[in-house]
Structure 1
């Protein structure tokens, strides 16, 4: 093997190994004694066979590498609940995997409810140590605080005890896991900033640009809710850096530029394209939200728009409208093309993108097959009460339900009821159906298709028949309202 290649492989191996070693592994024999050695520790109780645990493991290792160097250090620990850590897991009420808990000085403190990506874990756990708002005693302290993290900072400047300071510190306690807070009462800091009773949001240096101010001053009243709204409105600026741990901050209508966003290796190239997005965003800042995202980190979102691979360097522009419909800028990226795209989006002139399978040529089985393109015909406008199952081909529960669902369709084929199924992994689900797991079933009465009801009943044939018999708009021909078969009429 080439010596250079061997060196690279060895380097990668030892780098990965070092990251793994930053995660401490405790067992029943040493859990109590070793956890007590750490002022703050995050413990992952896991099972080796658990898919979610396997997905979390590399992110957890990356976070451990960062947090072990924090001041004060934060330990990341793992405990195998199937082998050496069974008793510890039972003692701490672990019933699913992975379960994450925060410990302080050996004692359980709270459940971990933060992100599951490395950057999010680091940010959440750093907020768990020290005060929720860091006190700044000098101008150097302020400058150091603003440079310490590539993140937004919210700083309060207070000459004396005021209602604004009280509201600020109260909000800092509430948002400590999400926002970096600091405050100062020192004269030299206040004079340097020119503020005696106020709050300023500072944007990180790498996001500074000529289209918006590097900092924003709060001008509202001493009300925690108003300060919170100010932070939410200004946190990401005109064009935010949308990442896996903050993606839920960006609300529709939203335009996202996907390209090689990398503020570590290529900040200049990243901002080259972001500045062009900013030029358009400034014109529509009160009407629509804008963001940039790494095309590699969000490949699954590109797939949702039918885009499998992006080779070129230019941004791919995708959008979600106010009604969560999807839109694609089909022309090559340019400032002019983006501006026209946004204008047409706001004027409702764009055709939404719909991920859909082909409409089946034959659809005469006991269960009607719906696809996104035919959903209106097979469900919304079919003139019948409808039970619809949203499923995934790989889902074990869906496979178990399939023969029962087919039998249900056969039993009710002569009724004024449609039994429908749709593959929710290959088709866009209409926005009024909330599908987060499989199978998900909805009952859509024929006269109120805009307000379908989630089916929460049993999944045996008799359960379905009783539910439909009870909720059908008109009484079924073959069953009474309790779901009992009606006696067949005989001729005399």
Structure 2
């Protein structure tokens, strides 16, 4: 038994070693000499104990592997700032981990500002080398360019033209997001039967019988080209990744399952082809996508799911960003019915919420998603805190907030708190950290005002006394307690 366990460990170690074989491991002794050897080098400065470094490390190695045969080439390297690379990290002012920098001909050129996952890293770095659009000179080079598992935009131009100018300017603006090529080679023009045109080639692994693999641009100017790419880039049911998440707009139906175009492309397309059949019926009205369940576990949690089985789990958002769940087992028929009900407004929106408290008569009212409108009445002024149970600043604020609630218990002001990690928060409240507080004036709750004042009791009292719609019974506008006549 121990022998097999040892073999397993050795196999895992070999895989890890293989995955990182495309990344140069540099130290103070060889850094300068090595980066001077290559036109473009991406360097990750890291510390072994750094959690963010551990997270990006496999993605970085995978990106290097993806770009192994690229021309022009990009070299990937890493430097351990805690051991052999201390002097190098100091020289290049590395103050946090990981820090990624792009070196050109041995010189520190710029900070890396791109994505932190493999495909995004590769795409960003491809945009950093050579011209924004690759000039294709042979049929073989053209065919090789289209084999990369990413969408491509290709211009075919027999001679200089206004369309070619539009294409090249668009490529310059979008080079970090998309890959471009153009050609004037007679053999290629003859092969494709074009002389002055632009085509969008969808990623080859997404090829299917329901939609064309290529789409021709029929417009003339840059605005039309921008809209054309935006509309057609991902097709009827595109591959939605963390890098492309903003490309997919509501209303949106997403199928989450074991999406993997490297290890299991057939299995991935087995489910996607079924989704495409339904998506075709709603083309131009409702957007569809597929997403890897492991990559989007945080989204699944937002719908109350910790686990997805073998079949896709379908979740959706409508134009108002309300959430919906297809509760029936995945099938084409069930998906058709679900989307039809979504379109007609026949579905009950999913709301992540804690149970409504049995008692809620304290000075600070407890809001959950299910009772929010009752606890935050529009006919009263409200100060609301969005918090997280694990937040240290929230814990420090809690006794002060409780005291504030007791002081104002008999006033026309409601003090409210809500755990924003366990309840859906209305998009009107831009909650990005904890605690976040908002002031809601009476009858104007649609325009919440972020509270950025002090966090002591006196700070809150002065703010509320000044901004209350009606003057408080017990305090004047300056926050001074009124004297009670005997």
- Pairwise same-fold verdict (TM > 0.5): yes
Confirm or deny that 1:489 pairs with 2:449: no
CA, structure 1 residues 35+417, in 2 after alignment: closer, same or farther (shift >3 Å)?
farther
Residues 460/59 of structure 1: CA separation in 2 closer, same or farther (3 Å cut): farther
Distance 2:359 2:48 in 1: 45
Larger displacement relative to structure 2 (261-270 or 195-204): 261-270
Which residue does the alignment assign to 1:204?
203
Match among 336, 340, 344 for residue 339 of structure 1: 336
- Correspondent of 1:227 among 212, 216, 225: 225
Indicate the larger mover: 282-291 or 449-458. Answer: 449-458
Of residues 281, 291, 294, the one that matches 1:293 is 291
Comparing 161-170 and 291-300, the one that deviates more: 291-300
What is the aligned counterpart of 2:458 among 462, 465, 468?
Answer: 462
Match of residue 318, structure 1, among 309, 315, 323: 315
- Give 3-state SS (helix, strand or coil) of 1:318's partner: strand
SS in 2 for 1:272: helix
Q: Which digits, 9 at most, give the CA deviation of each residue in 1:22-53, with x for residues without a partner?
A: 54455667655544343222233445554433
Q: Which moved more, 1:87-96 or 1:432-441?
A: 87-96
Instruction: Verify: 1:402 aligned to 2:401, yes or no.
Output: no
Number of residue pairs matched by the alignment: 486
Q: CA deviation at 1:139?
A: 2.0
Structure 2 vs 1, CA of residues 91 and 378 (structure 1 numbering), >3 Å: closer, same or farther?
Answer: farther
Match of 2:346 among 334, 345, 349: 349
Q: In the superposition, relative to structure 1, how do residues 226 and 252 fare at CA in structure 2: closer, same or farther (>3 Å)? A: same
Q: Is residue 406 of structure 2 the alignment partner of residue 417 of structure 1?
A: no
Distance 1:243 1:29, change over 3 A: same
The answer on whether the counterparts of 1:356 and 1:372 sit within 8 Å (CA) in structure 2 is yes
Q: Note the C-alpha offset of 1:461.
A: 2.9
Q: Distance in 2 between matches of 1:480 and 1:164?
A: 69
- Whether the 8 Å CA contact 1:323–1:431 is kept in 2: the answer is no
1:434 corresponds, among 407, 413, 430, to 430
Give yes or no for contact 2:138–2:187 (8 Å, CA) kept in 1. Answer: yes
Where 1:413 maps in the other structure, the secondary structure is coil
Going from structure 1 to structure 2, the CA distance change for 1:398 and 1:80 (only over 3 Å counts) comes to farther
- Report SS of the residue matched to 1:449: coil
**Which whole-Å CA distance do the structure 2 matches of 1:56 and 1:251 have between them?**
28
Conserved? CA contact 1:318–1:328, under 8 Å: yes
Q: Name the counterpart of 1:6.
A: 6
Q: Deviations over 1:336-392 (max 9, x none)?
A: 22112111111111100111111111223332211111111112x353211212112
CA distance in 1 between partners of 2:200 and 2:420 (Å)? 42
Q: Is the 8 A contact 1:358 1:371 kept in 2?
A: yes
1:194 and 1:409 map into 2 onto residues whose CA distance is 75
Question: Which stretch shifts more, 172-181 or 96-105?
Answer: 96-105
| Inter-partner Cα distance in structure 1 for 2:471 and 2:419 | 30
Instruction: Note closer, same or farther for the CA distance 1:139–1:19 as it changes in structure 2 (3 Å cut).
Output: closer
1:27 and 1:456 map into 2 onto residues whose CA distance is: 46
Summarize the Cα distance change of 1:56–1:264 in structure 2 as closer, same or farther, 3 Å threshold. Answer: closer
- When residues 189 and 392 of structure 1 are mapped into structure 2, their CA distance, relative to the original with a 3 A threshold, is same
Deviation readout 1:194-250 (Å, 9 max, x if unpaired):
2211100011222122221111000011x2232121111100000101123222221
Alignment of 1:176-325 (within 5 A): 176-221=175-220, 223-311=221-309, 313-325=310-322
Conserved 8 A contact 1:398-1:438:
yes
> Does residue 56 of structure 1 match 2:56?
yes
Aligned equivalent of 1:473, options 469, 472, 482: 469
Render the CA deviation track for 1:78-133: whole Å, top value 9, x for unaligned.
Answer: 44556766665565555554333322123232332211112211221122222211
Partner of 1:328: 325
Do the aligned residues in 1 keep the contact of 2:378 with 2:445 (CA within 8 Å)?
A: no
Deviations 1:420-479 (A, max 9, x none): 111111111112112222222222222111221222333333333333233222222333
1:405 aligns to what SS in structure 2?
helix
Query: Residue 141 of structure 1 aligns with which residue?
Result: 141
Change (3 A) 1:390 1:230: same
Residue pair 2:378, 2:443 contacting (<8 A) in 1 also: no
C-alpha distance in 1, partners of 2:83/2:452? 37
Distance 2:29 2:455 in 1: 45
Q: Give the deviation of 1:142 after TM superposition.
A: 1.4
Normalization by structure 2: what TM-score?
0.92
For 1:460 and 1:118, locate their aligned partners in 2 and report how far apart those are by CA, in whole Å.
Answer: 46
5+ long unaligned stretches in structure 1: none
- Give the 3 Å change call, closer, same or farther, for CA 79–412 of structure 1 in structure 2: farther
SS of 1:419's partner is strand
Distance 2:131 2:37 in 1: 21
- Give ranges in structure 2 of 5+ residues lacking alignment: none
Contact 2:217–2:225 at 8 Å: present in 1 too? yes
Q: Please report the RMSD computed on the Cα atoms of aligned residues, expressed in angstroms.
A: 2.4
Mapped partners of 1:83, 1:464: distance in 2? 50
Q: Which residue of 1 aligns with 2:444?
A: 448
Q: 2:360 aligns with which of 363, 376, 379?
A: 363
